[in-house]
Structure 1
Amino acid sequence: MAERATTTSETPTEPAAGGRGVPAAALVGLVAASLLVAAAFAVPPLFDWQVWARSERAQAALGHLPPVHGVWQPGLGVGTIPALLIAVAGVVWGPRLAARVSWSGLLAGAYAVALAWLFALALVDGESGLTRKLGADDEYLPTARSVDDVGAFLTGFVDRIPQGSEGQWPTHVAGHPPGATLFFVVLDRIGLGGDLAAAVVVVALAATLPLAVLVTLRALDAEGAARTVAPFLVLTPAAVYLGVSGDAVIAVVVAWGLACLALGARAGRAPSRRWLPLLAWSALAGVLLGNGVFLSYGMPLIGLVAVAVLVVARSWRPLPVAVVAALGVTGAYALGGFAWWEAYPVLVERYWDGLASDRPMTYWWWGNLAALLVSAGLAVGAGVGAWAARVGGALRVRTAGGPDARALLWLGGAGLACVVGADVSGMSKAEVERIWLPFVPWLTLTLALLPARWRTPALALQVTAALVVQHLLYTSW
């Protein structure tokens, strides 16, 4: 028999500590986010400030629209009507269904709707909406098709990172560890290396991202929080970018790594400790998170979320196994000829030899946050405000409330910390609407901390943001 669903009245957002100041803090957060985005779009043209959101050649050909890596190009397409129908149905029925269906029904429904949402948004631009970026010359897929010898690819990888080096890698290949390209090498080897075939695989994987977060929350005894936040995870504005970018694969790999870590922690909790599941889930978590580091140089930051998972679980038992498994991944790459610690300094040099040196940090420190809000949605600003109010209340009473509130506060805070770390590093100037996709689901958790009466308007704002971005901008991703 299916488990009885948790009702919305049991979610953590009503009784959490510090609740009195949440509406005001959420409003401040929403207003601040809106002003930030407006300023980021307005400042460059108003003050004739060249911030280099795109290359000079791209700007000359298409114009540009900082802080996003895109251009103004309104249009409708075959995906418009389905996207509108999904958005309306999701706002009207999504929260109610998420609260009432069985857990298996929630996961199945979340995947089906996420898949439809991703496809519908991408197909606003027709088939090219799915394929134009994955098949671009500066992306992983064309390079993957040319890899005949994986061993030679790994051993010669670092030598081809520097700007002007013989056979230098295209931008995205050089800007990531080789795991990102190897994923597409595998697709090509199994007959899925065409632009459209690879795009379908990416979308199918991207649609599992909400599931990974939901599984993580339930493993941390926060099913109420999972049901509250499910519609926001599924109908995220980030779908505009997740469905058409190889970075969706990075987000999915690390999210499932965190889910496995939470499952390992649950299995290892006393008194009913189960060693085999603990070892299996922890090892799988280490393999996935370890591979995440070889998909993106920024993914060591996701370790902050991993620590938050273990703190919420009140169990550190998965950590040794996960660390050993992750080190095994590192060792395998090193034996294959690629050392992450040797490649990163070379990548930093190439980064500053390229367009990054022209991108002023005086703009991009805050312009990045605006670009992130385009991807994550303005409502996340309200969620962050609510998070700050609840954290303040929790500190005053020295408790984060029940497991739902505890999970949301810790994981949402870890997501914020990831963004801050990435921003101050100086290695993420522009293009973060795509680069920071792995952080977006954890920021989205803050929306479950909003007062109940805010949630439907917040969800409506999120789907509206996705529709506006997709229909008004050529996003380049």
Structure 2
Amino acid sequence: MTATTRPREAARATGAPRGGRAAVAVWAAAIVAAFAAGWWLRRAGIATEDDLPPLHARARERPLTWELLPAAGLAAAGVAALPVLAGRLPWRALPLAAWAGAALWAVALAASDGTGALTAPLDAPTEYPAGMAQLRPDVLEYLRTFTDRLYAYTTHVRGHPPGPMLVLWALESAGLGGTGWLAAAIIAAGSSAAAAIAITVRCTAGEDAARAAVPFLALAPLAVWVATSMDAFFLGVGAWGTALAAVAARRAGPAAVPAAAGAGILLGSLPYLSYGLLPLLAVPLAVLVRARPRRAVLAAGAAGLAAVPAALTLLGFWWPDGVRATLDTYLISGGSAQRPYWYFLFANLAVLGLLTGPAVAHALPRALGAAGRAARLRAAVPGLGTALPAAAALLGVLALDFSGVTKGEVERIWVPFAAWITVAAAVHRPPARAWLAAQALTALAVQALVLSPW
């Protein structure tokens, strides 16, 4: 590389992405168009399942103002302090700081709805806790008959494998029953993804990229749906499974084997938590393709990956039958299946834009460009370590979107994917406070204007 091209390559790796301004304009226009088209469809009587399409939510009668002051204050502090902490903290402390920041951000946003805001979403009759009475008599019988009795379960239980209910059963068996403990587990798991993703980025792209990503992971707009949607728990499981896989692939000693096995167990549980999480496996696959781990690590990971499917199959739950039964209940439902496919094909991506924010829109052309050049040249290119996870997660979103089984309610479904796409924002040169502020303002605006059931 010549002396004249070296600064140019450095600018490409850390500077403003080409096409970024146009991407932000498209981001804003797509969101406006999605809500405008949703309003028109609802007025025409075509999309009546939701009050505020494309969101499964409704507009607040009175936008939040003073109620959001604590969250706004936290956002201001985060914009000021997070870039400094990300640059100066010892690495061992930084993932914990990212976790704490993400948890505080999610709780502060949810708390603006007042007392009980953290548990209210889980108290709904459509949610998982409402189905616990059917599980308690005999958990093994519940698993054996889960598919046969699917029509008798609550809405969210019908739409998922038995994994989420097993999580509730495990918490209750440990003396942590009730929606309060469940809310704590969801927030802890969902916000911990900021730490897990930072660890993964450090393994795939280096410490500088991980430090640049941390502020955007901690103040991500998707935090609006972390407290308290069960999909935030799914995010944590997938993120830590991927982080363990990245760590195992990087290590050379014997500790790599148990890390790989743990990664396999967590990642193998994803399709048993939600059928829609199967495409999320593209993210750890991309990480492993880049890392090229040893055969022993791959073998341990494969063994762990098979553990949960094998165990639940032996206990009586056959995953393909669950997919088929859930799809049948979906197709005959009077609501979700009747949503217009072509509208949500576009509008679902606009909702993804709300979860990831303008900073990611600005950075995404760089990330996708790096991934595309690497695939074309079959070689590493600058920025590939952050581009691969983001591109893999986006590919998973597109697969689900085109499938037609995610028509609406994707503000929670996209959460496990959106966090990985947020990694693309690491291309902004620190401290990038203007873009970090734009992320926080997006979350505050959504929370102020929209009343979501999650």
Post-superposition offset of 1:414: 0.6
Partner of 1:437: 415
Post-superposition offset of 1:51: 5.1
Map 1:65-84 → 2, pairs under 5 A: 65-73=52-60, 74-76=62-64, 80-84=68-72
Contact 1:26 1:385 in 2 (8 A): yes
Post-superposition offset of 1:106: 1.2
Alignment partner of 1:308 is 2:297: no
Post-superposition offset of 1:294: 0.6
Partner of 2:348: 368
Range moving further from structure 2, 384-393 or 147-156: 384-393
Contact 1:27 1:385 in 2 (8 A): no
Map 1:230-249 → 2, pairs under 5 A: 230-249=214-233
Post-superposition offset of 1:450: 3.5
| Residue from 399, 417, 437 that aligns with 1:460 | 437
What do the CA deviations read for 1:121-176 (whole angstroms, capped 9, x no partner)?
11101133211211111111121254221101101100122xxx4xx111110111
With over 3 angstroms needed to count, the CA separation of the structure-2 counterparts of 1:35 and 1:286, relative to structure 1, is same
Contact 1:44 1:66 in 2 (8 A): yes
| Residue from 22, 34, 38 that aligns with 1:28 | 22
Alignment partner of 1:113 is 2:101: yes
Report the AA paired with residue 209 of structure 2.
Answer: A
Contact 1:205 1:252 in 2 (8 A): yes
Report the AA paired with residue 345 of structure 1.
Answer: R
- In the alignment, the residues of structure 2 paired with residue 21 and residue 113 of structure 1 have an alpha-carbon distance, to the nearest angstrom, of 26
Matched length: 443
Alignment partner of 1:200 is 2:223: no
Contact 1:248 1:438 in 2 (8 A): yes
Map 1:3-402 → 2, pairs under 5 A: 15=9, 23-46=17-40, 48-50=43-45, 52=47, 54=49, 64-73=51-60, 74-76=62-64, 80-148=68-136, 149-161=138-150, 165=151, 168-220=152-204, 222-267=206-251, 273-274=252-253, 276-315=254-293, 317=295, 318-354=297-333, 355-391=335-371, 399-401=379-381
Post-superposition offset of 1:209: 1.0
What do the CA deviations read for 1:276-297 (whole angstroms, capped 9, x no partner)?
2121011101100111111010
Post-superposition offset of 1:18: 5.4
What do the CA deviations read for 1:239-260 (whole angstroms, capped 9, x no partner)?
1101111111111101100011
Contact 1:14 1:452 in 2 (8 A): no
What do the CA deviations read for 1:182-208 (whole angstroms, capped 9, x no partner)?
111222223322222321222122221
Partner of 1:270: none
Post-superposition offset of 1:394: 5.3
Post-superposition offset of 1:385: 2.2
Contact 1:44 1:50 in 2 (8 A): no
Alignment partner of 1:476 is 2:449: no
With over 3 angstroms needed to count, the CA separation of the structure-2 counterparts of 1:325 and 1:465, relative to structure 1, is same
Contact 1:219 1:266 in 2 (8 A): yes
Range moving further from structure 2, 257-266 or 76-85: 76-85
- 3-state SS of paired residue (1:244): coil
Post-superposition offset of 1:448: 1.2
- 3-state SS of paired residue (1:298): helix
Contact 2:17 2:363 in 1 (8 A): no
Report the AA paired with residue 151 of structure 1.
Answer: L
With over 3 angstroms needed to count, the CA separation of the structure-2 counterparts of 1:152 and 1:170, relative to structure 1, is same
What do the CA deviations read for 1:418-438 (whole angstroms, capped 9, x no partner)?
111111111111111101111
- 3-state SS of paired residue (1:107): helix
Partner of 2:3: none
Post-superposition offset of 1:391: 4.1
Report the AA paired with residue 32 of structure 1.
Answer: V
Contact 1:265 1:278 in 2 (8 A): yes
- 3-state SS of paired residue (1:418): helix
- In the alignment, the residues of structure 2 paired with residue 224 and residue 253 of structure 1 have an alpha-carbon distance, to the nearest angstrom, of 25
- In the alignment, the residues of structure 1 paired with residue 161 and residue 271 of structure 2 have an alpha-carbon distance, to the nearest angstrom, of 8
- 3-state SS of paired residue (1:125): coil
- 3-state SS of paired residue (1:251): helix
Report the AA paired with residue 290 of structure 1.
Answer: G
Length-normalised TM-score, structure 1: 0.87
- 3-state SS of paired residue (2:293): coil
Contact 1:77 1:126 in 2 (8 A): no
Contact 2:75 2:440 in 1 (8 A): yes
Post-superposition offset of 1:320: 2.6
Report the AA paired with residue 392 of structure 2.
Answer: A
- In the alignment, the residues of structure 2 paired with residue 359 and residue 14 of structure 1 have an alpha-carbon distance, to the nearest angstrom, of 48
With over 3 angstroms needed to count, the CA separation of the structure-2 counterparts of 1:20 and 1:94, relative to structure 1, is closer
Length-normalised TM-score, structure 2: 0.91
Partner of 2:4: none
**Which blocks of at least 5 consecutive residues in structure 2 are unaligned?**
1-6
Contact 1:78 1:123 in 2 (8 A): no
With over 3 angstroms needed to count, the CA separation of the structure-2 counterparts of 1:20 and 1:328, relative to structure 1, is closer
- In the alignment, the residues of structure 2 paired with residue 364 and residue 179 of structure 1 have an alpha-carbon distance, to the nearest angstrom, of 27
Contact 2:55 2:351 in 1 (8 A): yes
Post-superposition offset of 1:353: 1.2
What do the CA deviations read for 1:189-237 (whole angstroms, capped 9, x no partner)?
2332222232122212222110110111223352111100101101111
With over 3 angstroms needed to count, the CA separation of the structure-2 counterparts of 1:474 and 1:281, relative to structure 1, is same
Contact 2:356 2:422 in 1 (8 A): yes
- In the alignment, the residues of structure 2 paired with residue 246 and residue 441 of structure 1 have an alpha-carbon distance, to the nearest angstrom, of 15
- In the alignment, the residues of structure 2 paired with residue 350 and residue 315 of structure 1 have an alpha-carbon distance, to the nearest angstrom, of 41
- In the alignment, the residues of structure 2 paired with residue 36 and residue 257 of structure 1 have an alpha-carbon distance, to the nearest angstrom, of 33
- In the alignment, the residues of structure 1 paired with residue 371 and residue 174 of structure 2 have an alpha-carbon distance, to the nearest angstrom, of 48
